[in-house]
């Protein structure tokens, strides 16, 4: 017997999501409108359905998961918790390493946890069509999947360079019935304007967001809304099913509590989903080290100020209080495309400011080194984003060995890398380059942030 | 509650493989050497380790699975049995459809079930390096995975056109530490000879087999052997863990016995793995329809004679008694690359001759239609090979509806399609072509078979 998988029966799936906003020591800073004043829920109504807006601003601690959402999640949830006994053995560490395996969903990542919930709430609200943007395609494919199962139309604006260079995620979206177009497209005013000025542009996430929001808010039938795959409070909420399941599974493995919780963070939803239920324990006195991991190429949490900034590069969203490199920051082309975001979820940032988390950055060469070690011991091939978390896991396991301590490490295995193997090729052949944001560039971006309307730079633990 | 997954506890994993050779009404025809005489085990010794040769010729009904092999299989086994409730609902069928999900292994298919076993037996025998060939890369990646976990060297000769056009499986093999070279290569006499004559050849499975066997048998240290991913008796044996697990899972779902068992068959191992334990029940009187499914482009079981033929196009293997289109048959380039084989596992063929199975062929357009329906109801994206089985599943479920019968259908979900999405693109855009072997071509191939040494054409149920 070799107990590497800790299952959870369907009947034990969590029935409520956990809302960290209810427990943070200080209340969240409100999002601001273009006039610098806090916005009310009604201002978001053209973009999101009201039931999701209510979740976005809720401070209720527990929010019921509708049975019909659970019925869809059962296709792959509860997700397995596994113990990385082979990596432990290789590292000769006294640490016990557990990972929540979110790679088993049909699109291969944690993204459908919120895609299904968002699609369901849109449908409840009478919406017929959801628009969104996607970079490499993880989020777009998750939303396409969810809309297919709920019989909603799905329109995905995919950054042109990914649309052309990475056709497989696009095909995946089409298999699930979505209409996926390259952005900028001739289908929106925003897209036409950009194409007229820059006909050969490779596109960007900012451009794609502008197009997706435009299509949603200009639909005269009122039956179209927009969906975002990370950053917002309700997205974090939907992802907490990860951590809540993991808690039950750790208990059934006779572990009292993790000592360390680790997850990679781009917009923050994967990390938040696993960690927030444990952040609650920490607020209540538990001794847990909670580590969000980001790339050195895009050091939002570890080097950027906590300030008000736009969520998108086109300045169409409200201003959010978060650690930000500035909305004009263009991250270098690292393979972990899901971590290339200038900001970070406000809930994660507030928790960092409160001293509840210890963010850390790794470069992509160290991350691929950890990923290759993982693939050669555990046997599964991780996504480039997941590899960032793995670098921290390996470090913490080595530290436990040095200290001779039986630590329990829990981390999020956010996705598989089967559709992103090019980075491994570059790493193994020595062609992988690394990126670290130079100090003078960082200063320039921070100066910019001071000019944003109502910028309110506050110091986090590191600032 | 929506019970779509039927788990099996690790402690209930089968401890023995099932050997159909023990129960077939008539004994298997022996493999023949180049002289037309039955070969002894010792003639295979330069190619395979003796412990696997013993399994190849064994007629024991049950063969113990070594604990160390189980310890590796636990990484993803027992594999889930799932019920396709969403497809059932869409088809409005009274049939209950269960599928054994082999897509959850790290390489994404059933192949590692035998790759791990073969690597382990080679290691027990003192072998240090295993050679093999691969087409699209499913088998090569499974063997690379197994060798990595058992610390063996692995050398894969990959058909050049796939090596060049489908780089991702190659990267996967490299991630797992294998040395993957394009075949024909300059590394063997066979490869050099072909390259001298045909410098621009796209390669073929036959050429790659010749190179892999040559490297194994010419290693003067005697520490290298060759491995095959299907066709042979010991490969079928290792795959029976699928059907044995499924039996236990059906029982825990309160199903007495399947009425219909379906699997796609190229070399036969996936189909055999699921079906053989149920073939045993059928021999003992159970009323089960057992359907191996093949492409109309490569109609081995449904249209070809049962005869003695070489296993490879280069005529280096012993002659095997099987349904064969002739070793010179070149299947058209269908997307289900794993089903492009001129022959079929002798154990499967003998069972067909005995009337225990009802082979069926589907074209790839119907198969992709079934695959798309599956992806849009069940949510998972199947491999092109698996899609062939799905076409039969949909037909049988519709038939159950017409007959108003509550049939239990069990099939093998042999792999996911995440690394083979191009076929979906072709299908959805109407570019997918179909292939059916013309009668006159078939006749020509059959005439050829009569000229093989010791050809012994016997009539199967259909002949």
Q: State both tokens at A260.
A: 């360390």
Distance (Å) from the C-alpha of residue B52 to the closest C-alpha of chain A? Answer: 24
pLDDT digits (tens, 9 = 90+) for A96-114: 999 999 999 999 999 999 9
- What ranges do the domains of chain B cover? 5-13+63-108+233-449
Mutate to test the interface with A, among B163, B175, B178 (most CBs of A within 10 A): B175
Distance of alpha carbon B119 from alpha carbon B30, whole angstroms: 25
Interface residues from chain A to B (CB-CB < 8 Å) = 1-5, 7, 10-11, 70-71, 74-75, 104, 106, 108, 145, 148-149, 167-168, 171-172, 174-177, 372, 375-376, 378-381, 418-419, 421-422, 424-425, 428
Question: Model pTM greater than 0.90?
Answer: yes
pLDDT at B460 over 70: no
pLDDT digits (tens, 9 = 90+) for B249-283: 999 999 999 999 999 999 999 999 999 999 999 99
Distance of alpha carbon A118 from alpha carbon B345, whole angstroms: 49
User: What's the CATH number for B5-13+63-108+233-449?
Assistant: 3.40.50.1100
Rg over CA atoms, chain A? 21
The one-character DSSP state at B360 is E
Nearest residue in chain A measured CA to CA from B171: A425
Q: Residues A96, A408: contact at Cβ < 8 Å?
A: yes
Question: Is the Cα torsion angle B263, B268, B273, B276 positive or negative in sign?
Answer: positive
Nearest residue in chain A measured CA to CA from B104: A104
For chain A, residues with pLDDT lower than 50 are: 1, 459-463
Among B307, B311, B272, B306, CA closest to B292? B272
pLDDT of B220 reads: 95
Task: Work out the pLDDT band at B330, boundaries 50, 70, 90.
Answer: confident
Which has the higher per-residue pLDDT, B312 or B248?
B248
Residues in chain A closer than 8 A to B150 (CB atoms): none
pLDDT of A463 reads: 34
Question: Are B168 and A1 a contacting pair at CB < 8 A?
Answer: no
Neighbour tally for B217: CB within 10 Å: 16
pLDDT of A361 reads: 97
Q: Residues B371, B390: contact at Cβ < 8 Å?
A: yes
For strand A306-310 and strand A319-323, is the pairing parallel, antiparallel, or unpaired?
antiparallel
Q: Residues 6 or more apart from B421 whose CB is under 8 A from it?
A: A167, A168, A171, A172, A175, B381
Distance (Å) from the C-alpha of residue B11 to the closest C-alpha of chain A? Answer: 7
Among B336, B318, B314, CA closest to B265? B336
Q: What is the mean pLDDT of residues B150-170?
A: 93
pLDDT at B323 over 90: yes
Residues in chain B closer than 8 A to A380 (CB atoms): 75, 106
Only one residue has tokens 């493989």, namely B17
Q: Residues A228, A248: contact at Cβ < 8 Å?
A: no
Q: Residues 6 or more apart from B290 whose CB is under 8 A from it?
A: B260, B261, B275, B278, B279, B282, B356, B357, B358
ipTM: 0.94
% of chain B with per-residue pLDDT over 70: 97
Distance of alpha carbon B292 from alpha carbon B301, whole angstroms: 8
pLDDT of A435 reads: 87
Interface residues from chain B to A (CB-CB < 8 Å) = 1-5, 7, 10-11, 70-71, 74-75, 104, 106, 108, 145, 148-149, 167-168, 171-172, 174-177, 372, 375-376, 378-381, 418-419, 421-422, 424-425, 428
Question: Are B421 and A104 a contacting pair at CB < 8 A?
Answer: no
């Amino acid at each position: 017997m070799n107990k590497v998988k800790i299952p959870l029966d369907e009947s034990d799936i969590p029935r409520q999501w956990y809302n960290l906003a209810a427990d943070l020591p200080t209340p969240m800073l409100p999002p601001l409108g273009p006039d610098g004043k806090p916005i009310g829920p009604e201002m978001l109504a053209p973009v999101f359905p009201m039931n999701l807006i209510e979740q976005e601003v809720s401070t209720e601690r527990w929010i019921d998961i509708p049975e019909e959402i659970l019925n869809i999640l059962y296709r792959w949830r509860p997700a397995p918790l596994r113990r990385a006994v082979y990596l432990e053995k290789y590292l000769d560490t006294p640490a016990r390493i557990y990972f929540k395996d979110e790679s088993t969903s049909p699109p291969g990542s944690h993204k459908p946890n919120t895609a299904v919930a968002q699609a369901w709430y849109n449908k409840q609200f009478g919406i017929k069509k959801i628009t969104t943007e996607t970079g490499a395609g993880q989020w777009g494919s998750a939303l396409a999947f969810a809309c297919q199962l709920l019989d909603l139309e799905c329109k995905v604006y995919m950054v042109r360079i990914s649309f052309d260079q990475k056709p497989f995620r696009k095909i995946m979206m089409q298999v699930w019935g979505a209409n996926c177009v390259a952005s900028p497209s001739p289908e929106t005013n925003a897209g036409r304007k950009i194409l007229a000025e820059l006909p050969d542009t490779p596109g960007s996430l900012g451009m794609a967001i502008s197009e997706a929001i435009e299509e949603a808010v200009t639909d005269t039938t009122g039956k179209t809304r927009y969906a975002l795959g990370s950053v917002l409070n309700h997205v974090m909420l939907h992802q907490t099913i990860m951590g809540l399941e993991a808690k039950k599974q750790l208990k059934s493995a006779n572990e009292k509590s993790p000592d360390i919780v680790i997850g990679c963070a781009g917009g923050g939803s994967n990390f938040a989903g696993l960690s927030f239920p444990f952040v609650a324990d920490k607020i209540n006195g538990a001794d847990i080290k909670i580590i969000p991991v980001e790339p050195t190429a895009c050091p939002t949490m570890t080097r950027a100020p906590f300030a008000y900034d736009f969520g998108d590069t086109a300045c169409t969203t409200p201003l959010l209080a978060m650690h930000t490199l500035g909305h004009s920051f263009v991250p270098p082309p690292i393979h972990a495309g899901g971590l290339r975001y200038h900001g970070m979820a406000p809930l994660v940032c507030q928790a960092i400011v409160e001293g509840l988390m210890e963010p850390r950055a790794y470069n992509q060469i160290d991350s691929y080194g950890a990923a290759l070690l993982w693939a050669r011991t555990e046997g599964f091939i991780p996504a480039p984003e997941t590899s960032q978390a793995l670098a921290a896991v390996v470090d913490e396991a080595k530290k436990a060995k040095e200290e001779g301590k039986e630590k329990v490490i829990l981390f999020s295995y956010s996705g598989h890398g089967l559709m992103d193997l090019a980075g491994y090729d570059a790493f193994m052949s020595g062609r992988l380059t690394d990126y670290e944001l130079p100090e003078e560039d960082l200063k320039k971006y921070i100066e910019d942030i001071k000019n944003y309307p109502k910028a309110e730079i506050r110091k986090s633990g590191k600032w």
